[in-house]
Amino acid sequence: MKEQPMNTVRLLPWAGTAGRPCYVVGNGDGKVSREADKVEAMQLGMAYELLDHADDLVADDGSTAVQLRHVAAALAHSLRDVHRVARSRGLRLGIPDAFEPDHPSGPGLVPLRP
């Protein structure tokens, strides 16, 4: 594993009060960082399993609208989790974050216009 500089800021894979982002400051070896690693791994594993389930439902002509709405809601929730993991890992690689322009890593990138 690549060694992180001292006192880096990491976006955690869970939200704080009122859905605000949570961060931890450190070198990545602390208890909170290790717990965040476990949560990220769990979120990514659950997303992978959910994709299989969604594929099955979409392929089944007998799937009901209720089933499809339920899996769509679960996919949206899972995508938010995976997006947060990707943002966190990008920040640790030094990629500015367009979603948190005031983040300590620096100003965010301007999103591309289609």
Give the residue extent of every domain in the chain.
Answer: 8-91
Task: Supply the pTM of this predicted model.
Answer: 0.74
* Digit-coded pLDDT (tens) for 72-100: 999 999 999 998 999 888 888 877 766 66
One-letter amino acid at 94 equals G
Per-residue pLDDT at 16: 87
b or e along 83-108 (b: 16 or more beta carbons within 10 Å of the residue's beta carbon)?
Answer: ebbebbeebbeeeebeebeebebeee
